[in-house]
Structure 1
Amino acid sequence: MSGHPAHHHQETGGLPLEILLPAVFLVLLAGGYVLLADRARRRNAQAGWSRWRTGWFLAGCALLAAGLLPPVAPWAHGDFQGHMLQHLLIGMYAPLGLVLGAPVTLLLRNLPADQGRRLSGLVQSGPLHALANPVTALLLSVGTLGLLYFTPLYNTVAANTGLHWLLHAHFLLAGCLFAYVIAGPDPAPARPSVPVRLVVLGMAIAAHAVISQLMYGGFGINIHAPVDQVQGGAQIMYYGGDIAELLLAVALVATWRPQPGSRRASRPTALREARPAVP
């Protein structure tokens, strides 16, 4: 196996773009959430906004920063183990915090009534219904790992900075979708029952275990990196992935409030709780 491909760094002033751009994005993301949370509390002091939600979202931002900024980001460029840690931070740990922050509900609390109704309609739309299906989310978050590591795709992405950032975006969005489908507090179209979601989560755990074991044994993988790096990355995926999925299961069970007839009433109730602001 050949060495891990290196990236070329573009610089602007004193900071490389690979540090500056994600840092600006993270500041805007965290700052925007805090401003909206403060505005929601001031608009409706009685309803307020949970500081736990704010804490979860900021924790997600911090985990995302850990994955996108030094020292992890430079390590990921030269070592497959760093890449795998980066994947877990961006695609599994950060999404859990971001999703538990209920950003859609917070946005609905701040939007004018007409815009809030449009967003609520989008949340309940057919395309999102298909996208938020647990099987779809599973394929996008875990299924693409097989395509990435068992075809030449990983080596192509690792050698191209633009494709590498697209991979980060995919990891983040697919991870957020999966966390949202499994345990998200935001309104969702026809969310399946908790037992169904636990089964899907179990399938994700099994898939991660199979991929990491095949990777450790060198069976069918197509990764241009030293064997010790690949095996170290496989161990990070195996143990780190288990911890992330256990946390997701805890989040699901902790927020489960079974009620008689909840299947029929869940969607209107969720949307009432996330009602848009009335000017």
Structure 2
Amino acid sequence: MYGGVHGRRLGNVEPPKGCRRTLGGIPAPVRTRPASEHTSSPSGIPPGMNIRISLFLVTGLAVVAGFHYLAGASTVHAHEGLAAGQNALAAWSTNPIPSFGLILAAYLYLTGLSRWHRPTHPISRWQRVSFFAGLVVVFIALQSPIDPIAEHMFSFHQLQHILIRMVAPLLILGGAPLTPMLRGLPPWALQGVVRPIVSNSLARSAYYRLTNPVVATIIFLGVLYLWQVPVSMNLALRNDFVHEFMHLTMMFSGFLFYWLVIDPKPHRSRLHYGLRVLYLGLIVIPNTMLGVALVFARAPIYSAYVEAGQLFGMSIMTDQQLGGLLLWVPGDMMSILAAGVVMVLWYQKEEEQSALEAARREANVDKSGR
């Protein structure tokens, strides 16, 4: 089977003779390695790595358990807001789902890296830092005092959305997580869950359509505008399930959009670097329009915030204007920053291609001189 949709076939197709089956750049376990390739560990993981990863997982779970059940009065339950007189800056969300999800992601990433002995596209130290920085950003957005304060203040809600919709996806995708996390899965999950999905024609078709630049942009901006509609925002603030769904759609739209900006190795983005810069520039205008509308609104837009009450002595109109300003300026700056990163990657790619062409010319000269 050949993974991906860009120039490679998928489906139940036998690979050429002498080639091995792959899934997203991952060797299938059906391949038998020569004895010389085996490490001292039967699983192919360097000695001691299984123990270190297990300790990491156990420690992480213990920390989460302690954080969620021993924090006492300084914590608040998911989306309940702050109690009267409670210190807002000391309130942490006790919703365990984000923490467990982040620990699982870190575990799969580290496990996959430990099993990846001869990577065709090695994960650099900076990429690893980027991945874990993205996980930290998600934790801060969903577990820190930002989350309960966002129940009372529109500005903090916009800050939270910027973190999970723009900052975290950029950082996590910058860590090239696809192959390591797939390699980190147990064989039963890889063969019984991932492989059937990748082999399914409907799943491949959906992937191809969702990663269309026009579709991804519409979803990215559509989700933003949908949750700024007063009816939607008020419902999310009053209903836990809707609030969680809002966060999921925010993160999904962010990952989908930036999937086309940062190469999701081992796949390549469908956009040339120049088009990626234009792609990022196109979202600035609708983002600015929404931010300006919120900044210059003459009355409170969201009744749920009127009912919840403000914090830090800030009026509801000032809070609403600050939220619009956060959506406007930092939101636009994130697009400009991402465009700058793309330009740097473009320059590096051109330099690599120039070096390869120079090496080919030298090789041809050497051959002709013999």
Q: If the TM-score is normalised by the length of the shorter chain, which range does it land in?
A: 0.7 to 0.9
Q: Which residue of 2 aligns with 1:8?
A: 80
Indicate the SS of the match to 1:211. Answer: helix
Which residue, 95, 101, 109 being the options, matches 1:33? Answer: 109
Does residue 1:230 correspond to 2:320, yes or no? yes
Listed as ranges, the matches of 1:165-244 within 5 Å are 165-188=244-267, 191-218=270-297, 222-224=301-303, 225=305, 226-244=316-334
Range with greater deviation from structure 2 (122-131 or 25-34): 122-131
State the alpha-carbon separation in 2 of the partners of residues 183 and 220 from structure 1. Answer: 40
Structure (1 or 2) with the greater helix fraction: 1
Matched, 1:131 2:235: no
TM-score, normalising length from structure 1?
0.77
Higher relative contact order (CA 8 A, sep 6+): 1
Paired amino acid for 1:152: V
Query: How far did 1:181 drift?
Result: 1.2
Q: Alpha-carbon deviations, 1:122-176, whole Å to 9, x = none?
A: 7993221110112211111122222222341111111111110111111111111
Structure-1 separation of matches of 2:232 and 2:335: 25
List alignment gaps of at least 5 residues for structure 2: 1-77, 82-90, 306-315, 354-370
CA contact (8 A) 2:210 2:216 kept: yes
What 5-or-longer segments of structure 1 have no aligned partner? 1-5, 10-14, 262-279
1:100 aligns to what?
174
Instruction: Note the C-alpha offset of 1:222.
Output: 4.1
Q: What amino acid does structure 2 have at the position aligned with 1:8?
A: E
Aligned counterparts of 1:31 and 1:57: Cα–Cα separation in 2: 12
Q: CA-to-partner distance for each residue in 1:54-90, whole Å, 9 max, x for gaps?
A: 1111010011111001221111111111101100111
Change (3 A) 1:216 1:127: same
Give distance in 1, aligned partners of 2:137 and 2:248: 15
Task: Give 1:32 deviation, angstroms.
Answer: 2.1
2:130 is matched with which residue?
Answer: 56
Q: Distance in 1 between matches of 2:123 and 2:301?
A: 47
Change in Cα spacing, 1:44 to 1:190, as seen in structure 2 (3 Å) is closer
Q: 1:68 to 1:120 in 2, by over 3 A?
A: same
Code of the residue aligned with 2:319 in structure 1: it is: Q
CA distance in structure 2 between the aligned counterparts of 1:237 and 1:159, rounded to whole angstroms: 22
Match of 1:270 in 2: none
Q: Is the 8 A contact 2:115 2:184 kept in 1?
A: yes
Cα RMSD (Å) of the superposition?
A: 3.3
Pair 1:23 & 2:99 matched: yes
Q: 1:118/1:110 Cα in 2 relative to 1: closer, same or farther (>3 Å)?
A: farther
Aligned residues: 248
Amino acid corresponding to residue 28 of structure 1 in structure 2: L
- TM-score after normalising by structure 2: 0.59
Aligned-residue sequence identity (percent) comes to 27
Contact 1:60 1:95 in 2 (8 A): yes
Residues 8 and 152 (structure 1), Cα distance of their counterparts in 2 relative to 1, 3 Å cut: same
Aligned residue in 2 for 1:90: 164
Instruction: Tell me: CA distance 1:7–1:118, structure 2 relative to 1, closer, same or farther (3 Å).
Output: closer
* 3-state SS of paired residue (1:32): helix
2:127–2:175 CA contact under 8 A, matched in 1: yes
